[in-house]
């Protein structure tokens, strides 16, 4: 290690403080944190229509224990109880998800290929199907449910109110929660529209504790002009569901899934 790198590493170590929490103060903040989270959840559930843009990162851990972050951006528009249009683009994928209450369409723009499956029901049902049946969760899926507070607080064992933070110029309440499997943090906007500004999940049962984070911007409660139907172009190819993984990739080509540890 060169002297310059050593100096940089030392400067970084000095700039990062050792955080020590007062347990009694943290416990006193639990009720306030719950109130903030409940207010955010009630606000989200009350919105018949809303939309946002987002930036997200998904950490992967190599077999050499190196953490790498896959970055993507996208949009989401929701019309309760059963319509969603969401996009996600990165350097290796450009995909759109459209749900009109009866049909789910997955459209790979870069492959100009799409598949459709019959799914009837609410957004809650769609979130469950995408997560557990198709392995393609929606961005910030927990926050889109009809009762987000109940889902977020499931199995929570520790709660911290960490005061104030600023995300994208918006002052927020900063909250942290723990379960046996994950730690998660959320920043909630101050004011009459307590929307989530950032949501971070840390997997504790995966070696290296990788994180998924999503940061919301351009929050709007008017998605009236969004078209929730899908009209493929004449040259778009319809593919079978079993061909989805090869045509619409979730990881770059040079990434290969390893064995579970």
CATH of the domain at 73: 2.50.20.10
Number of domains in the chain: 1
Q: Is residue 16 part of a domain?
A: no
Q: Is residue 261 part of a domain?
A: no
Q: Is residue 13 part of a domain?
A: no
Closest CA to 161 of 21, 19, 41: 21
Q: Residue 28's pLDDT is what? A: 56
- CA pair distance 85, 141, nearest whole angstrom: 13
Q: Is residue 176 part of a domain?
A: yes
Q: How many residues does the chain have?
A: 261
Q: Exposed/middle/buried for 180, CB within 10 Å: 0-12, 13-18, 19+?
A: exposed
Q: Residue 249's pLDDT is what? A: 59
Q: Residue 57's pLDDT is what? A: 96
Q: Exposed/middle/buried for 140, CB within 10 Å: 0-12, 13-18, 19+?
A: buried
pLDDT digit string (tens) for the chain, length 261 residues: 444 434 444 444 444 455 555 555 555 589 999 999 999 999 999 999 999 999 999 999 988 999 999 999 999 999 999 999 999 998 888 999 999 999 999 999 988 999 999 999 999 999 999 988 888 888 889 999 999 999 999 999 999 999 999 999 999 999 999 999 999 999 999 999 999 999 999 999 999 999 999 999 999 998 668 899 999 999 999 998 777 766 555 555 555 555 544
CA angle 99, 103, 109 (to 5 degrees): 60
Q: 162 Cβ partners below 8 Å, 6+ apart? A: 174, 175, 176
Q: Is residue 6 part of a domain?
A: no
Range of the domain at 176: 23-247
Q: Is residue 199 part of a domain?
A: yes
Per the CB < 8 A criterion, the answer to whether 129 and 141 are in contact is: no
Q: Residue 230's pLDDT is what? A: 94
Q: Is residue 181 part of a domain?
A: yes
Q: 153 Cβ partners below 8 Å, 6+ apart? A: 34, 37, 177
Q: Is residue 4 part of a domain?
A: no
């Amino acid at each position: 290690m060169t002297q310059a790198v050593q100096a940089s590493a030392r400067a970084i170590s000095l700039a990062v403080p050792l955080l020590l929490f007062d347990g009694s103060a943290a416990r006193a903040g639990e009720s306030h944190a719950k109130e903030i989270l409940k207010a955010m959840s009630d606000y989200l559930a009350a919105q018949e229509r809303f939309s946002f843009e987002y930036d997200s990162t998904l950490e992967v851990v190599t077999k050499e224990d190196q953490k790498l972050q896959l970055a993507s951006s996208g949009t989401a528009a929701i019309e309760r109880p059963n319509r969603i249009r969401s996009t996600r683009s990165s350097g290796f994928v450009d995909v759109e998800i459209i749900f009109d209450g009866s049909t789910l369409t997955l459209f790979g723009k870069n492959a100009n290929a799409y598949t459709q499956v019959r799914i009837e029901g609410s957004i809650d049902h769609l979130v469950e199907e995408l997560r557990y049946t198709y392995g393609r969760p929606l961005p910030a899926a927990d926050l889109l449910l009809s009762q987000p507070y109940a889902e977020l607080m499931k199995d929570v064992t520790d709660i911290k109110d960490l005061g104030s933070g600023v995300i994208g110029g918006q002052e927020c309440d900063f909250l942290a929660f723990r379960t046996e499997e994950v730690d998660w943090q959320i920043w909630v906007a101050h004011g009459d529209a307590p929307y989530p500004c950032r949501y971070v999940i840390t997997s504790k049962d995966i070696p290296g504790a990788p994180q998924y984070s999503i940061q919301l911007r351009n929050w709007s409660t008017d998605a009236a002009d969004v078209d929730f139907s899908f009209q493929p172009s004449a040259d778009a190819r319809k593919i079978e569901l079993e061909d989805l993984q090869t045509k619409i990739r979730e990881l770059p080509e040079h990434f290969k899934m390893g064995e579970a540890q």
